[in-house]
Structure 1
Amino acid sequence: MADRPDIAPLRQRLRAFTNARVAIGRVGSSVPTAAMLEFQLAHARARDAVYDALTPGAVEQGLAGWPTISVHSAAPDRATYLLRPDLGRRLRPEDAARLQVEQAQLAIVIADGLSATATMAHGAALARAMVERLRHDWRIGPMVIAHQARVALGDEIGEAMGAEMVVVLIGERPGLSAADSLSAYLTWAPRRGRLDSERNCISNIRPPHGWSIADAADEIVRILSRARAARCTGVALAGGEALTAGEGPAY
């Protein structure tokens, strides 16, 4: 039996608010064939996003000539990276030594994370938009392209570069509705051992279904300005005097 036509207007209204799998209909006790095929395709895309490797050349091409440095975490390959999150948070010793000659107030890290697909789709464009807005207010170092990276890898990178702040642009864990979603993590005074509560995060940077590149860049600039004035990020920034009365959290 086909799905009831009288609920079609409700289905259309729901889908106007989300691309999640809502009101997909049914055929008897099963979902429609088209919906099942779409689900299987999304699952395959999510798996590919997790296992795909970051292509540095593709990122560098989108940075319009801005200098870059490629680094690796202590995870030697993708399989190890997925099994050992702790190694993805540690920088290879030889890469730490290379970064120490690059002093900057702001370190920008473009990292594969759990979706190199997202990083290659949006990372360079967002980094370029940030530079356009920040280059007169911050001394920005070379873009650091990080392989097999977790968020906390940015702490060691920022510390090695002597940065006041680090922004890590990293691919999010893929879902069955989004395999190309990027996040930005901002940390004041980066150093090894920083807690997740000491960061601010903007997630779902994924035009046209999430944050646009321009809006995400504007929000990052806003948080950077607040963090610099308050000399903190994370819970301390979102709940402290860094926010004026009546404003919501900074992310």
Structure 2
Amino acid sequence: MTSRILTLSCPNTAGIVAEVAARVADNGGNITEAAQFDDQFSGTFFMRLRFDIAEEGLGAFTTAFAETAGRFGMEWRLKDAARPTRMLLMVSKFDHCLGDLLYRVKLGEMNADVVGIIGNHPEEVLHTSLHKGFDYHHLPVTKDTKAQQEAEVRRIVEETDAELVVLARYMQVLSDEMCQFLAGRCINIHHSFLPGFKGARPYDRAHERGVKMIGATSHYVTADLDEGPIIYQDVEAVSHADTPADLIGKGRDIERRVLARAVHLHLDQRVLVNGRKTVVFGK
């Protein structure tokens, strides 16, 4: 038996769940996990299903389900649950998120295969040593060389067959063309509880406003800066006695855990984009 994860979305109508379950059962499959959501505002139905099925029944299931998907107008994806996702990481000078992700991958907590790391600074600026053993691509970027640098990034993405690109505190704004190229497969961590304090130096601006909580937001990258569909967020209490440096220190911990959680949810096929929002089947 092999385990598969099926995700789908379509206009909501009666009979979807029964039809999906029947296709699995008809081909000898056994459902081990199921979650669904009906967005009453958009009229869209979302579903995530994990099931075990014999290899010899997989082809018949795929053929039968394609017919079902066509009738219901579904967008769907079927993934081998055991196969690691090919993941490319991008970083600037701050490497706490990078180190955390690499540590989790090495521990086996994340079902991912790191196919490379891109940094716009030399790897000598990194404090972690966990990147050793992975291909590190130093691609410096300036305003004048941005187009050429992004072309090289695209080449690496294509050459490595990267399925997911993670901006692990990569402090460069991607061009609209790059955002389009990576649409749906690029996750960013923003050191602010979006939509508040977008852009640069959010902790300084949060300190100026005297906030009592700081947070971090992980989202899919779009051409609208820091406005992509949100995957996961978290916050931590602060006080009037905290300096901007204190906020930055506390923020590192939030950023690490928020990005790791978002990446984990994506790798486990638990995030479905719903317009400017997401449906997250958490676990």
Into which bin does the TM-score normalised by the smaller protein fall?
0.3 to 0.5
The one of the two structures with greater contact order (alpha-carbon pairs below 8 A, sep at least 6) is 1
Higher helix share: 1
Q: TM-score, normalised by structure 2?
A: 0.33
Higher strand share: 2
